[in-house]
Structure 1
């Protein structure tokens, strides 16, 4: 688009999701001059400590909703800086991941219980303000059945389709309608990717952590969603890793995300994958650029 910078909005449920899903892609585009905005729907206030070596920042604890929110805001700022992107909070409260049989009710006032139009309204306005050409979010399953991930999909899907319609979500003094050109779903750790890493590690004589996972995933016959778009991001793995480590309460630097040696990862899986969910510009798949078709718009 002549004379106008390209803009990418990545919509995520919690702080740390932007580091584990499409992070190297956002870093790549930011480095190329694309304006990138990460939107975080909740404050991650109900996340547990998942890093055994985590020590709260001086003057803070990780004991209450307010404490967790403060810690995770600091972590998010560091992660955004590592990726070279802007970040904005949508302002909702983490729903937590219910466990048990039967599942307990969700906490009152949490993101997943906010009515859809109320939850989508601030994102619609943000889309109109930022005017992204491309949006990314999760598929309808949320990627995994966390209520916030499912609601994140619903909110982003609604905003993508509604932001260009002047008759919807109208507010006094609000920004002008804007219709993003393309919507993508992030792909996480697909079976194809996990199997490639597993075989490469065992072939190199390394112990792979993925054997049991491959067997359990296969046994459950989890469907693989279509990949339409592969982005070569091998030059930006270091930024992705720095963003992951920035979320010190959530990410174990000796854990799962760092199990595959980076030189091996570059050889066997140098890309991040996406599923094109909707396009308002002509496209041909497979793609190697989220802005394919947008760059050609006059």
Structure 2
């Protein structure tokens, strides 16, 4: 595949001899890279459900097993003992969430770092994901990208979305894999899949302050108590820089699947809690989309977008794209 340059970076051109008109397009593929089980249900979940329903092959890659997650649902009862017990529970929950969204899911095999607390912060547990050297941490994802051959990859921005060490590492790993998977000289493995370069990389913005403020003001306007009051008014929230939003995917029809996936993570998600405090009809009225930031594109596209595959649909043919 030839590449040219334009102001936004390299542009992938169709392979010699390929056409984009009159051919049956190959299946579009989306890879969503997340840190823990349940992240896929709270970040970009309705988008994943929409694309899966439209025939896109959607795969969730989960970096860790969520082994050090706490039981956050007060109605859940006692959790399993030890890391192994929690890992087994989170796997069952993850499988249920994937069914709710209509997507496939694969584990990358790393161990949850936990969220360090205290001042000063304690060191991360030995062997946890946040301490794994980058090339070692990225290797399974590079191989997965080469095997699955996604056209689009989604993950977190460089801050991780919030300062959990696994979220920050998840960004680093996904960013590395996006750039390295197409390089035959990197991450060589005997018998491994051929190199593959995804065409677009996105960061999801589900917890942007713009979204929080919009929902907060809508609740107040409806005479309802907002769950976001303290958050919106806090100094730390006001100081969070807003990242650029390039892409809004309309997904209101898939909020029910998102909610079902959240509830599937029963040890983590309280059905009477934060995620369900906004009436769904109000949410549909004021925020019927999920937002993303186009971090890199190897195809030309015009901003703003309403489709993660903008520029990709026109390129992908039966001969394929991304190599």
Q: TM-score range by the shorter chain?
A: over 0.9
1-side partners of 2:252 and 2:182: how far apart? 35
- The equivalent of 2:174 in structure 1 is 156
Q: Distance in 1 between matches of 2:176 and 2:44?
A: 21
| Deviation (angstroms), 1:278 | 0.3
How many positions carry a matched residue from both structures?
294
Compute the TM-score of the two structures, normalised by the length of structure 1. 0.97
Deviations 1:204-234 (A, max 9, x none): 1111111111011566511010000000000
Segments ≥4 residues shifted beyond 6 Å: none
Match of 2:17 in 1: none
Which aligned pairs between 1:232-271 and structure 2 lie closer than 5 A?
232-271=250-289
Gap runs ≥5 in structure 1: none
- 1:31 and 2:49 aligned: no
Q: CA deviation at 1:47?
A: 0.3
Counterpart of 1:275 (choices 293, 296, 306) is 293
CA distance in 2, matches of 1:217, 1:208: 18
Which residue does 1:137 correspond to in 2? 155
Provide TM-score, normalisation by structure 2: 0.89
| Candidates 52, 66, 70, aligned match of 1:48 | 70
Larger radius of gyration: 2
CA distance in 1, matches of 2:35, 2:294: 20
Alignment partners' CA distance in 2, 1:193 and 1:219: 12
Structure 1 position 195, deviation (Å) = 1.3
Which piece of structure 1 moves more, 162-171 or 195-204? 195-204
- Aligned residue in 2 for 1:290: 308
For residues 1-298 of structure 1, what are the structure 2 equivalents within 5 Å? 2-55=24-77, 61-216=79-234, 220-297=238-315, 298=317
CA distance in 1, matches of 2:237, 2:202: 28
Cα contact 2:232–2:238 (8 A) shared by 1: no
* 284-293 vs 202-211, greater mean Cα deviation: 202-211
Q: Secondary structure in 2 aligned to 1:5? A: coil
Tell me the CA shift for residue 3 of structure 1.
Answer: 2.9
Counterpart-to-counterpart distance in 1, 2:252 and 2:180? 35
Question: Does the C-alpha gap of structure 1 residues 182 and 219 become closer, same or farther in structure 2, counting only changes over 3 Å?
Answer: closer
Unaligned ranges ≥5, structure 2:
1-19, 318-323
For the aligned residues, what is the CA RMSD? 1.1
**Range with bigger deviation, 218-227 or 67-76:** 218-227
What secondary structure, in the 3-state scheme, does the structure 1 residue paired with 2:127 have?
coil
Q: Which moved more, 1:81-90 or 1:61-70?
A: 61-70
The answer (yes or no) to whether the contact 2:153–2:200 under 8 Å persists in 1 is yes
CA deviation profile, 1:56-108 (whole Å, cap 9, x unmatched): 6xxxx522000000000000000000000000000000000000011101000
> Equivalent residue of 1:49, what SS?
coil
